[in-house]
Structure 1
Amino acid sequence: MRLTTMTDYAMRLLMYVGQHPDRLCTISEIAAAYRISEPHLMKITHRLAQKGWIETLRGKNGGMRLGKPPEDICLGAVVRDTENDLALVECFTTGHSCTLGGQCALTAIIDGALQQFLQHLDRYTLADILPQSSQNDGKPPTHVIQLVNMN
Protein backbone atom coordinates (compact mmCIF):
# COMPACT_ATOMS: atom_id res chain seq x y z
CA MET A 1 0.00 0.00 0.00
CA ARG A 2 1.24 3.44 -0.81
CA LEU A 3 -0.36 6.67 0.34
CA THR A 4 -0.67 9.47 -2.17
CA THR A 5 1.45 12.58 -2.25
CA MET A 6 -1.67 14.51 -1.21
CA THR A 7 -1.84 12.60 2.08
CA ASP A 8 1.90 12.93 2.66
CA TYR A 9 1.80 16.69 2.11
CA ALA A 10 -1.43 17.07 4.11
CA MET A 11 0.25 15.45 7.12
CA ARG A 12 3.30 17.70 6.70
CA LEU A 13 1.09 20.78 6.46
CA LEU A 14 -0.83 19.82 9.61
CA MET A 15 2.41 19.16 11.49
CA TYR A 16 3.86 22.51 10.42
CA VAL A 17 0.74 24.47 11.34
CA GLY A 18 0.44 22.51 14.60
CA GLN A 19 3.94 23.62 15.54
CA HIS A 20 2.92 27.27 15.24
CA PRO A 21 -0.32 27.60 17.22
CA ASP A 22 0.40 31.23 18.10
CA ARG A 23 0.28 32.58 14.53
CA LEU A 24 -1.07 32.11 11.04
CA CYS A 25 1.08 30.09 8.64
CA THR A 26 1.19 30.81 4.92
CA ILE A 27 1.24 28.51 1.94
CA SER A 28 4.49 30.08 0.73
CA GLU A 29 6.35 29.46 4.00
CA ILE A 30 5.16 25.84 4.22
CA ALA A 31 6.00 25.28 0.55
CA ALA A 32 9.49 26.66 1.13
CA ALA A 33 10.03 24.66 4.32
CA TYR A 34 9.12 21.36 2.66
CA ARG A 35 10.06 22.17 -0.94
CA ILE A 36 6.51 21.58 -2.15
CA SER A 37 4.98 23.44 -5.08
CA GLU A 38 2.62 26.20 -3.97
CA PRO A 39 -0.17 25.29 -6.44
CA HIS A 40 -0.18 21.69 -5.17
CA LEU A 41 -0.17 22.91 -1.57
CA MET A 42 -3.10 25.23 -2.35
CA LYS A 43 -5.21 22.25 -3.44
CA ILE A 44 -4.33 20.40 -0.25
CA THR A 45 -5.07 23.47 1.87
CA HIS A 46 -8.48 23.78 0.23
CA ARG A 47 -9.29 20.10 0.93
CA LEU A 48 -8.15 20.31 4.56
CA ALA A 49 -10.16 23.50 5.09
CA GLN A 50 -13.28 21.91 3.55
CA LYS A 51 -12.97 19.03 6.00
CA GLY A 52 -12.43 21.36 8.97
CA TRP A 53 -8.87 20.25 9.76
CA ILE A 54 -7.60 23.81 9.23
CA GLU A 55 -9.09 27.30 9.14
CA THR A 56 -7.97 29.76 6.50
CA LEU A 57 -8.07 33.53 6.49
CA ARG A 58 -7.72 35.44 3.23
CA GLY A 59 -6.00 38.72 2.65
CA LYS A 60 -2.65 40.39 3.09
CA ASN A 61 -2.28 39.17 6.66
CA GLY A 62 -4.06 35.88 6.00
CA GLY A 63 -2.88 32.35 6.46
CA MET A 64 -3.99 29.17 8.13
CA ARG A 65 -4.19 27.60 11.55
CA LEU A 66 -5.52 24.33 12.89
CA GLY A 67 -9.30 24.05 12.80
CA LYS A 68 -9.34 22.02 16.01
CA PRO A 69 -6.90 21.12 18.77
CA PRO A 70 -4.10 18.73 17.72
CA GLU A 71 -5.43 16.07 20.09
CA ASP A 72 -8.73 16.11 18.16
CA ILE A 73 -7.13 15.55 14.74
CA CYS A 74 -7.16 11.78 14.18
CA LEU A 75 -4.52 10.60 11.72
CA GLY A 76 -6.77 7.84 10.38
CA ALA A 77 -9.53 10.34 9.64
CA VAL A 78 -7.09 12.62 7.80
CA VAL A 79 -5.93 9.69 5.67
CA ARG A 80 -9.53 8.76 4.84
CA ASP A 81 -10.25 12.40 3.90
CA THR A 82 -7.19 12.85 1.69
CA GLU A 83 -6.99 9.49 -0.06
CA ASN A 84 -9.28 9.48 -3.09
CA ASP A 85 -9.05 5.74 -3.59
CA LEU A 86 -8.43 3.22 -0.85
CA ALA A 87 -9.23 0.31 -3.18
CA LEU A 88 -6.08 -1.76 -2.87
CA VAL A 89 -7.12 -4.19 -5.59
CA GLU A 90 -9.39 -3.93 -8.62
CA CYS A 91 -12.14 -6.04 -7.08
CA PHE A 92 -12.71 -3.29 -4.46
CA THR A 93 -13.88 -0.93 -7.20
CA THR A 94 -17.39 -0.59 -8.57
CA GLY A 95 -17.84 -2.36 -11.87
CA HIS A 96 -14.66 -4.41 -11.54
CA SER A 97 -13.90 -7.07 -14.11
CA CYS A 98 -12.75 -9.84 -11.77
CA THR A 99 -14.29 -13.15 -12.86
CA LEU A 100 -13.76 -14.88 -9.52
CA GLY A 101 -16.60 -12.97 -7.88
CA GLY A 102 -17.54 -14.40 -4.49
CA GLN A 103 -15.17 -17.36 -4.84
CA CYS A 104 -12.05 -15.39 -3.89
CA ALA A 105 -11.04 -15.21 -0.22
CA LEU A 106 -8.23 -12.78 -1.00
CA THR A 107 -10.62 -9.81 -1.05
CA ALA A 108 -11.59 -10.30 2.59
CA ILE A 109 -7.96 -10.72 3.65
CA ILE A 110 -6.81 -7.56 1.88
CA ASP A 111 -9.79 -5.60 3.17
CA GLY A 112 -8.98 -6.78 6.70
CA ALA A 113 -5.39 -5.59 6.31
CA LEU A 114 -6.60 -2.18 5.10
CA GLN A 115 -9.00 -1.88 8.03
CA GLN A 116 -6.24 -2.80 10.51
CA PHE A 117 -3.96 -0.19 8.94
CA LEU A 118 -6.63 2.51 9.29
CA GLN A 119 -7.55 1.40 12.82
CA HIS A 120 -3.89 1.63 13.79
CA LEU A 121 -3.77 5.22 12.50
CA ASP A 122 -7.03 5.93 14.36
CA ARG A 123 -5.14 5.42 17.64
CA TYR A 124 -2.96 8.47 16.97
CA THR A 125 -3.62 12.18 16.75
CA LEU A 126 -1.66 15.11 15.43
CA ALA A 127 -0.61 15.82 19.03
CA ASP A 128 1.18 12.45 19.09
CA ILE A 129 3.46 13.38 16.19
CA LEU A 130 4.21 17.00 17.08
CA PRO A 131 7.51 17.75 18.82
CA GLN A 132 7.20 18.20 22.58
CA SER A 133 7.98 21.89 22.17
CA SER A 134 5.36 23.68 20.09
CA GLN A 135 8.09 25.88 18.64
CA ASN A 136 10.95 24.50 16.57
CA ASP A 137 12.73 27.70 15.54
CA GLY A 138 10.64 27.90 12.36
CA LYS A 139 12.09 24.66 11.02
CA PRO A 140 9.84 21.92 9.72
CA PRO A 141 9.19 19.00 12.08
CA THR A 142 11.81 16.31 11.95
CA HIS A 143 9.36 13.53 12.78
CA VAL A 144 8.90 10.95 10.08
CA ILE A 145 5.84 8.77 9.84
CA GLN A 146 6.97 5.44 8.50
CA LEU A 147 4.29 3.51 6.68
CA VAL A 148 4.67 0.06 5.23
CA ASN A 149 4.97 0.19 1.46
CA MET A 150 3.56 -3.03 0.05
CA ASN A 151 4.56 -3.26 -3.60
Structure 2
Amino acid sequence: MRLTQWTDYTLRVLMYCAACQGREQPVTISEVAQSHGISRSHLTKIVQELAAQGLLETTRGRGGGMRLMKPAHDINVGAVVRSTETDFHLVECFDPRTNQCCLGSHCHLHGVLAQAMRAFLAVLDGVTLADLDTPQPLWPPTGSPVAALISLHPLRTPRQPPPQGDA
Protein backbone atom coordinates (compact mmCIF):
# COMPACT_ATOMS: atom_id res chain seq x y z
CA MET A 1 0.00 0.00 0.00
CA ARG A 2 1.19 3.49 -0.72
CA LEU A 3 -0.13 6.45 1.21
CA THR A 4 -1.27 9.41 -0.86
CA GLN A 5 0.75 12.59 -1.05
CA TRP A 6 -2.10 14.28 0.86
CA THR A 7 -1.59 11.93 3.83
CA ASP A 8 2.18 12.26 3.65
CA TYR A 9 2.00 16.06 3.73
CA THR A 10 -0.67 15.98 6.45
CA LEU A 11 1.61 13.93 8.68
CA ARG A 12 4.56 16.24 7.90
CA VAL A 13 2.55 19.33 8.91
CA LEU A 14 1.44 17.70 12.15
CA MET A 15 4.96 16.48 12.96
CA TYR A 16 6.41 19.93 12.25
CA CYS A 17 3.85 21.57 14.53
CA ALA A 18 4.50 18.98 17.24
CA ALA A 19 8.26 19.59 17.02
CA CYS A 20 7.66 23.33 17.41
CA GLN A 21 5.33 23.09 20.41
CA GLY A 22 6.37 25.50 23.12
CA ARG A 23 7.80 27.92 20.61
CA GLU A 24 6.63 31.48 21.15
CA GLN A 25 5.55 32.20 17.57
CA PRO A 26 3.20 29.84 15.72
CA VAL A 27 4.32 27.76 12.75
CA THR A 28 3.54 29.27 9.36
CA ILE A 29 2.52 27.48 6.19
CA SER A 30 5.39 29.19 4.34
CA GLU A 31 7.85 27.86 6.91
CA VAL A 32 6.65 24.26 6.45
CA ALA A 33 6.49 24.67 2.67
CA GLN A 34 10.07 25.94 2.50
CA SER A 35 11.39 23.36 4.94
CA HIS A 36 9.91 20.43 3.02
CA GLY A 37 10.03 21.87 -0.48
CA ILE A 38 6.25 21.58 -0.86
CA SER A 39 3.82 23.89 -2.62
CA ARG A 40 2.42 26.52 -0.24
CA SER A 41 -1.02 26.40 -1.89
CA HIS A 42 -1.19 22.62 -1.46
CA LEU A 43 -0.28 22.94 2.22
CA THR A 44 -2.90 25.66 2.69
CA LYS A 45 -5.63 23.19 1.71
CA ILE A 46 -4.23 20.58 4.06
CA VAL A 47 -4.01 23.05 6.96
CA GLN A 48 -7.62 24.13 6.36
CA GLU A 49 -8.74 20.50 6.53
CA LEU A 50 -6.71 19.86 9.70
CA ALA A 51 -8.28 22.95 11.30
CA ALA A 52 -11.77 21.73 10.30
CA GLN A 53 -10.99 18.37 11.94
CA GLY A 54 -9.98 20.13 15.16
CA LEU A 55 -6.31 19.15 14.96
CA LEU A 56 -4.86 22.61 14.24
CA GLU A 57 -5.66 26.04 15.57
CA THR A 58 -5.03 28.67 12.92
CA THR A 59 -4.67 32.42 13.27
CA ARG A 60 -4.66 34.82 10.33
CA GLY A 61 -2.73 38.02 9.92
CA ARG A 62 0.52 39.36 11.25
CA GLY A 63 1.93 37.03 13.89
CA GLY A 64 -0.52 34.35 12.78
CA GLY A 65 0.13 30.75 11.99
CA MET A 66 -0.87 27.36 13.31
CA ARG A 67 -0.52 25.28 16.44
CA LEU A 68 -1.72 21.86 17.49
CA MET A 69 -5.14 22.12 19.15
CA LYS A 70 -4.44 19.16 21.39
CA PRO A 71 -1.30 17.57 22.78
CA ALA A 72 0.70 15.46 20.35
CA HIS A 73 0.18 12.39 22.56
CA ASP A 74 -3.59 12.72 21.97
CA ILE A 75 -3.33 12.66 18.16
CA ASN A 76 -3.51 9.10 16.87
CA VAL A 77 -1.66 8.42 13.61
CA GLY A 78 -4.09 5.67 12.57
CA ALA A 79 -7.04 8.06 12.93
CA VAL A 80 -5.23 10.70 10.88
CA VAL A 81 -4.45 8.20 8.11
CA ARG A 82 -8.06 6.97 8.05
CA SER A 83 -9.31 10.55 7.78
CA THR A 84 -7.00 11.45 4.90
CA GLU A 85 -6.89 8.28 2.80
CA THR A 86 -9.80 7.79 0.44
CA ASP A 87 -9.16 4.28 -0.85
CA PHE A 88 -8.26 1.24 1.20
CA HIS A 89 -9.20 -1.13 -1.64
CA LEU A 90 -5.90 -2.91 -2.19
CA VAL A 91 -7.25 -4.96 -5.07
CA GLU A 92 -10.39 -4.96 -7.18
CA CYS A 93 -12.29 -7.49 -5.07
CA PHE A 94 -12.21 -5.19 -2.02
CA ASP A 95 -14.92 -3.06 -3.64
CA PRO A 96 -18.05 -5.16 -4.23
CA ARG A 97 -19.56 -2.41 -6.41
CA THR A 98 -16.81 -2.65 -9.03
CA ASN A 99 -15.49 -6.19 -8.51
CA GLN A 100 -15.20 -8.08 -11.78
CA CYS A 101 -12.79 -10.76 -10.55
CA CYS A 102 -13.86 -14.22 -11.72
CA LEU A 103 -12.11 -16.03 -8.83
CA GLY A 104 -14.73 -14.95 -6.30
CA SER A 105 -15.04 -17.16 -3.25
CA HIS A 106 -12.36 -19.56 -4.52
CA CYS A 107 -9.57 -17.04 -3.97
CA HIS A 108 -7.87 -16.61 -0.61
CA LEU A 109 -5.90 -13.51 -1.62
CA HIS A 110 -8.72 -11.21 -0.49
CA GLY A 111 -8.59 -12.60 3.05
CA VAL A 112 -4.81 -12.40 3.26
CA LEU A 113 -4.74 -8.80 2.01
CA ALA A 114 -7.59 -7.82 4.33
CA GLN A 115 -5.64 -9.27 7.25
CA ALA A 116 -2.52 -7.37 6.16
CA MET A 117 -4.50 -4.11 5.94
CA ARG A 118 -5.92 -4.65 9.44
CA ALA A 119 -2.38 -5.27 10.74
CA PHE A 120 -1.08 -2.14 8.98
CA LEU A 121 -3.80 0.02 10.51
CA ALA A 122 -3.38 -1.65 13.92
CA VAL A 123 0.28 -0.59 13.98
CA LEU A 124 -0.68 2.99 13.11
CA ASP A 125 -3.44 2.90 15.74
CA GLY A 126 -0.76 2.18 18.35
CA VAL A 127 1.22 5.33 17.47
CA THR A 128 0.62 8.93 18.46
CA LEU A 129 2.09 12.07 16.99
CA ALA A 130 4.28 12.34 20.09
CA ASP A 131 5.71 8.86 19.39
CA LEU A 132 6.95 10.09 16.01
CA ASP A 133 9.03 12.76 17.75
CA THR A 134 10.52 10.56 20.47
CA PRO A 135 14.33 10.47 20.49
CA GLN A 136 15.68 7.17 19.23
CA PRO A 137 18.84 5.52 20.65
CA LEU A 138 21.03 6.96 17.85
CA TRP A 139 19.74 10.48 18.38
CA PRO A 140 21.30 12.90 20.85
CA PRO A 141 19.82 12.19 24.27
CA THR A 142 18.14 15.58 24.56
CA GLY A 143 15.79 17.44 22.29
CA SER A 144 13.35 16.51 19.60
CA PRO A 145 14.77 14.62 16.61
CA VAL A 146 12.25 16.25 14.26
CA ALA A 147 13.10 19.71 15.61
CA ALA A 148 16.80 18.89 15.23
CA LEU A 149 16.28 17.94 11.58
CA ILE A 150 14.26 21.08 10.95
CA SER A 151 17.10 23.19 12.31
CA LEU A 152 19.80 21.22 10.42
CA HIS A 153 18.23 21.58 6.99
CA PRO A 154 18.28 25.03 5.45
CA LEU A 155 14.98 26.24 4.09
CA ARG A 156 14.51 24.91 0.58
CA THR A 157 12.56 26.23 -2.32
CA PRO A 158 9.38 24.35 -3.29
CA ARG A 159 9.84 21.35 -5.54
CA GLN A 160 9.99 22.17 -9.20
CA PRO A 161 8.13 19.96 -11.69
CA PRO A 162 10.40 17.65 -13.67
CA PRO A 163 11.53 19.07 -17.01
CA GLN A 164 9.30 18.10 -19.91
CA GLY A 165 11.16 16.31 -22.69
CA ASP A 166 10.65 17.21 -26.32
CA ALA A 167 8.12 14.83 -27.85
Q: Which range, TM-score by smaller chain?
A: 0.7 to 0.9
- Greater gyration radius: 2
Displacement of 1:28: 0.4
Structure 2 residue identity aligned to 1:117: F
SS at match of 2:33: helix
| 1:149 aligned partner | none
Displacement of 1:60: 2.8
Displacement of 1:73: 0.7
Q: Distance in 1 between matches of 2:91 and 2:120?
A: 15
Taking structure 1 as the reference length, the TM-score comes to 0.83
Consecutive aligned runs of 4 or more in structure 1 exceeding 3 Å deviation:
134-138
Displacement of 1:27: 0.6
Structure 2 residue identity aligned to 1:136: A
Taking structure 2 as the reference length, the TM-score comes to 0.76
Task: Give the share of equivalent positions with the same residue, in percent.
Answer: 46
Contact 1:4 1:83 in 2 (8 A): yes
Matches within 5 A, 1:2-151: 2-22=2-22, 23-93=25-95, 94-132=97-135, 133=143, 136=147, 139=150
Contact 2:26 2:64 in 1 (8 A): yes
- The 3 A distance-change label for structure 1 pair 116 and 17 is same
Aligned pair count reads: 142
**RMSD across aligned positions (CA):** 2.2
Displacement of 1:103: 2.8
- Structure 2: unaligned runs, 5 residues or longer: 136-142, 154-167
Contact 1:131 1:141 in 2 (8 A): no
Displacement of 1:138: 8.5
